[in-house]
A and B are shown apart, each in its own frame.
Chain A
Amino acid sequence: MTLTELANPTRFLSLATRILPWLAMLTGLLLVIGLYQAALAPDDYQQGATVKIMFIHVPNAWLAMFVWGVMSVASLGTLVWRHPLADVAAKAAAPIGAAFTFLALVTGSLWGRPMWGTYWEWDARLTSVLILFLMYLGLIALWRAVEDPSRAARAAAVLTLVGAINIPIIKFSVDWWNTLHQPASVIRMGGSALDKSFLYPLLIMAVAFSLLFVTLHLAAMRNEILRRRLRSLQMLQASKPVALP
């Protein structure tokens, strides 16, 4: 099935409805395996058992950036190709991305208190992720403020693409500035710095959370398509002449 064929919302709904239960089951299974592996992982020689927070913090932080990336591609689809599902995809992804960003910030704080001695530090990595969270909230507010979905979509697409500048800033902030946050240790030149006993559970959790995002995103896109059908039917109903007695 090509991207053009998926442009038909009815076809997309049919496909989403068929694959959602399988995706949900696969996500659940991987989360159980990931959590089991995380529970079995040894304590770190410096962090002790607190390293277990990393198994949920890192996937949420990756997804916080990845979801904005998905929204940026969808925004290009809205502005350049005018794909009918592009703005549906972007709108549906925003609350999920905001939730992942919120979780990355809070779990990071909960790790930082025992390890750094503080919940928060205004360093480049933490501040740029906080800005990302505020941008997610701004986008959600914009979509709610503008009633016409196509007008809201264009404004949101421009804002999303401008906001995409923040993603490389987040990624490279630890290299460009002197930050309290440690540099990349999983995806980096020369291979991962993590021992396999930490790396494998982390990767399983990352795949599980990515599948969780795909599942939730498809379900939210399905809701958004149905909401737009509802809106057009309500407008049709409102425009029908009322029969006088």
Chain B
Amino acid sequence: MMSLGPYASFIITSYVLVAAVVLLLIIWIAIDHRRVRARLHALEQAGMGRRSGRGTTDLK
């Protein structure tokens, strides 16, 4: 077992905080992606499309 000494709480808090903020960033970006794609898809279903005729979320 790794010993973190008398300041273990400061070390653990630092790592947990970094993990939490990075995780929040990942989740926020993923949710944003889903939401924007869903709204684009809904508009496409409503007959709105790009002038090129390709799907708005077509990434190919």
Contact = CB atoms under 8 A, between A and B. Distances in A.
Given A53-B10, A110-B10, A226-B37, A216 B25 contact: yes
A220 B29 contact: yes
A99 B21 contact: yes
A171 to B, nearest CB: 22
Chain B CB within 10 Å — which of A56, A60, A230 has the most?
A230
Nearest to A54: B14
B40 A110 contact: no
A91 to B, nearest CB: 13
A102 interface: yes
Interface in A96-113: 96, 99, 102-103, 106-107, 110-111, 113
Contact of A234 (B8, B30, B43): B43
Contacts of B57: 226
A32 B57 CA distance: 33
Contacts of B28: 95
Given A216-B29, A230-B39, A107 B14 contact: yes
Interface in B10-60: 10-11, 13-15, 17-18, 21-22, 24-26, 28-30, 32-33, 36-37, 39-40, 43, 46, 48, 50, 54, 56-60
A76 interface: no
Contact of B33 (A52, A102, A222): A222
Interface residues of B, number: 38
Nearest to A92: B29
A49 B59 contact: no
18 contacts: A10-B54, A14-B60, A50-B11, A52-B11, A56-B15, A57-B14, A96-B25, A99-B22, A106-B17, A107-B14, A111-B10, A113-B10, A114-B6, A114-B7, A222-B33, A223-B33, A233-B48, A236-B48
